[in-house]
Amino acid sequence: MQNHWLLLGAVLLLGAIDVTSSYRVWQLAAANGRFAYDMYRTVVSEANGDNVFFSPFSISTALSMTYAGARRQTAYEMCLVLGYCNFGFSVHATFRATLGSLNYGSGGQYILALANRLFAQKDFNIRLRYKKLTAIYYSAELQELDFEKHPAAAADYINNWVEEQTHDKIQDFVSEDMVNNAALVLVNAIYFKALWKYPFNPEGSGKAPFYLSATEWVDADMMEQVGFFRYSDMNQLDCQILQLPYKGERLSMYILLPNTVDGLASLESRVTFDSVVSDLAMARMEEVKVRLPKFTMSLGMKLNKVLQDMGMKQAFDEMNADFSDISPTVRLYLTEVVHKAFVTVGEKGTEAAAATGVIAMPTGIFNFKYFTANHPFLFLIGDITTGSILFMGRLMKP
């Protein structure tokens, strides 16, 4: 039996579920949410104090397509890490409901597009049932390329597809060396562009200190507004949480701001998906004076070690990985899990947008809460309808 490797990619860019499926969708969101926080803690432990940004949903989607072809110990480790062990085969149908809702639920208020694609070596023997599963449940088309004889052309083809899906913001996703002699490349791409429901007034923006530590700071472009937002003090985590909705109110950014300048490390060690859900349930509408830095991140990372540290070991083992439900004749194992992300946040929204007009928030009586994000914080972007955490990161330095 011939032995080949499989490359897994996840790409992202920031810029109606029926009653019978909604419960399972929320169960999947909880599983993906716990996976997101587990991955976040693992990633930041190796980030050396740098900014972090990734899409747990994008990574979960790409891994779920791979999990569909795993068997025995390989599948067991993947289901433990991803949190899918209680789903069985229904995890794929639940993904289809989630992806369908996310792709078609904007109502023209924002752009959120998700795309999956399988790139296989020409004449590679893929099980028909696997091709049908990924097509039906993930809308993943199969594209044959020649990784063996023309790896450079294959890499260019994949990169062009990724650029098209992310409106040219993610480029050079894979290299010729990465795909040379690959058997199968699975890619998930997300493009997101939205305006704040309540834009920041550019006249309120200006330079102000952003504290990297108690003794060190840098100048940052700070935005400011006063408005009514869901807000919680989150005393059990020693931080504040603020929900900033996008137009349409289905998607929001959530910011977890430590109460002290150097409190992020402590927050990261204690925060969990369940603790945030619990505290969000306690959040109330409050009048809040918000100060938030503009920021842009463009980050790429390989997740091999991260996933192995989380317990997904056998998938990367050339001798023992079992993806025999993908191919009956070729042994596959994971060599690379590649992830690239881009995000920009400004007065108008997330990812620069040519929308006209901004709203100046009147201040009224000065009894509002203060939310001053002038030191490192954790943030995420979530979908209220499905409960999915789409993006997650931390800002250490604007």
What CATH number corresponds to the domain at position 138?
3.30.497.10
Could you tell me if residue 377 is inside a domain?
Answer: yes
Could you tell me if residue 82 is inside a domain?
Answer: yes
- Burial label, 149 (beta-carbon count in 10 A; 0-12, 13-18, 19+): exposed
Write down the pLDDT at residue 289. Answer: 94
93 and 234 housed in the same domain: no
Q: Cα(115)–Cα(164) distance, rounded to whole angstroms? A: 11
189 and 206 housed in the same domain: no
**Domain with 18 in it:** 2-194+297-343
36 and 164 housed in the same domain: yes
Per-residue pLDDT 10s for the chain (398 aa) are: 444 545 555 555 554 333 345 788 889 999 999 999 999 999 999 899 999 999 899 899 989 989 999 999 999 999 999 999 988 888 999 999 998 888 765 667 788 877 788 888 888 888 999 999 999 998 888 888 898 899 999 999 989 988 888 888 888 888 888 888 888 888 878 888 888 999 998 888 899 999 999 899 999 999 999 999 999 987 678 899 999 999 888 899 999 999 999 999 999 999 999 888 888 888 899 999 999 999 988 888 888 899 999 999 999 888 898 989 988 888 888 888 888 888 888 878 654 222 111 212 223 345 689 999 999 999 999 988 888 999 999 999 99
Write down the pLDDT at residue 379. Answer: 95
Write down the pLDDT at residue 104. Answer: 65
Could you tell me if residue 119 is inside a domain?
Answer: yes
312 and 379 housed in the same domain: no
300 phi, psi to nearest 5 deg:
-130, 145
- Burial label, 193 (beta-carbon count in 10 A; 0-12, 13-18, 19+): buried
Total structural domains within the chain: 2
Residue 115 CA: distances (Å) to CA of 102, 165, 188, 191 = 11, 7, 6, 9
Write down the pLDDT at residue 298. Answer: 82
250 and 167 housed in the same domain: no
Write down the pLDDT at residue 236. Answer: 79
Could you tell me if residue 349 is inside a domain?
Answer: no
pTM: 0.88
Write down the pLDDT at residue 262. Answer: 94
50 and 158 housed in the same domain: yes
91 and 143 housed in the same domain: yes
8 and 132 housed in the same domain: yes
268 and 369 housed in the same domain: yes
CA-CA-CA-CA torsion sign (268, 272, 273, 278): negative
What CATH number corresponds to the domain at position 364?
2.30.39.10
